Amino acid sequence: MRMSELKQDQVYTDGLKALQKRMELMYNNKEHSDTVFIIKKHKFYVSRQLIGVASKKLDAIMKENFTYHNKHITLHAVKCEESFSVILKYMYGLDMNFGELKMEVLCRVIQLAETYQLEQFSKDLQCYLSKHDQFNIDSLAVLLNTARNFNLEELYKKLKVFAFQHAEDFVKHESIVHVSYEVLTDLVKSDYFFVPELDILKAVLNWHVEMNTKEETCIDENQDMTSDAGSVVSDISTASTNMKPIENKTEEEYQDIEQEEIEEKDEDNTMKTEAEISEQKLKCSELMKSFSENVLKSLLPCENNFMV
C-alpha cells in the first residue's frame, strides 16, 4: 500500500523584503517614473499607478492634469517638501523613523495624510504624536494647532499645561503669531495664563498683523494658480491651431471655432478663480472681525485709543 506524503506548510515571507528593496530603487527615480510632482522648485518623480492606488485624491489630481497631457504637476497647497517626501515614502512602503522628524514636519505630514485620504497613516501619526510629553517653545504653536484641529484631547491638555508654565516666554516667541484663532482665545482667556497684560496685548496685535499678511498671501497664491491655469489653456490653444482643418470647413473657420472654445474655457477658469479669491478674502476678513470683536475689545485698556 502506497503511503501518502506528509505536507508541511511553509509560508515564504522574504518576498516582501525583496519588494521593499525594489520600491527603494523606484522611489524618486526619474527612470522609473511617469509623473512629476513639483513642490515649490523641488521635483518628485513618481509612478502614477502606484500613487493612484494609494490615494484617490492624488489620483483625481493626476487624471485632471493628464487630460491636458500635463505630467508635471505643481501642488500649490503643499508648503513643505520634507513632509511630502514622507507621504511618498509611505505610499512606496518604505521604513521611516518618526523620531528623526521635526515636530513641524510631523504635524504637516498629518495634515497631508488627511488631505490625501490616507486614513490609517494619519491615525498612526496621531497616535505617535499623542504619546509625547516632552515639549519646547519652538514647536509649541504648531503642536497646539494640530492637537486642537484633530481633537487630540489628551495631548492638547498636556500642551496647555506646558503653555501655562512658560506663558511669559511663549507670548514673546515669534511662533505665537502662528497659533490658530481657537487656540489663542483658549489660552488668553484662561485664568492660568499668567502674563502681564501689556505683553498679551503686544502678542495679540502681532497675531492680528500676521492675519492681514496671510490674507494678502492667500490672494497672491490664488492669482498664481490663475496664471498656471492660463498657461494650460494656452498650451491647448497652441496644440489646437496646429491641427488640420475639419472637412467642409476652411482653416480660418476651424481656428475661429477653436479660439471661441479656448476663450470660453479661459473665462470660466478666471470666474472660478475670482470667486475663490473673494471667498478666501471674506473668510479671512470675517475671522479678523470676529477676533477684534470678541477678544481685542476685552484686552485693550481703552478701546477708543486703539485702531485695529
pLDDT in tens, 130-154: 999 999 999 999 999 999 999 999 9
C-beta separation of 140 from 179 below 8 A: no
Beta strand residue intervals within the chain, DSSP E? 35-39, 42-46, 72-74
CB atoms within 10 A of CB 117: 14
pLDDT tens profile 180-191: 999 999 999 898
C-beta separation of 232 from 68 below 8 A: yes
251 CB-near residues (< 8 Å, 6+ apart)? 245
Buried b (16+ CB within 10 A) or exposed e, 87-108: bbbbbbeeeeeeeebebbbbbb
- Which amino acid is residue 276, in one-letter code? E
Q: Is 298 exposed, middle or buried (0-12, 13-18, 19+ CB in 10 A)?
A: exposed
Report pLDDT for 210. Answer: 81
Report pLDDT for 44. Answer: 96
Lowest mean pLDDT among 27-41, 235-249, 265-279, 282-296: 235-249
**Average pLDDT, integer, range 95-102:** 93
| Residue closest to 296 by CA, chosen among 229, 202, 223 | 202
Q: What is the mean pLDDT of the chain?
A: 79
Report pLDDT for 207. Answer: 87
Give the confidence band of 293 by pLDDT, cuts at 50, 70, 90. Answer: low
Q: pTM for the full model?
A: 0.69
Buried b (16+ CB within 10 A) or exposed e, 135-170: bebebbbbbbbbbbbbebeebbebbbebbbeebeeb
Report pLDDT for 143. Answer: 97
Residue 49 has pLDDT above 70, yes or no: yes
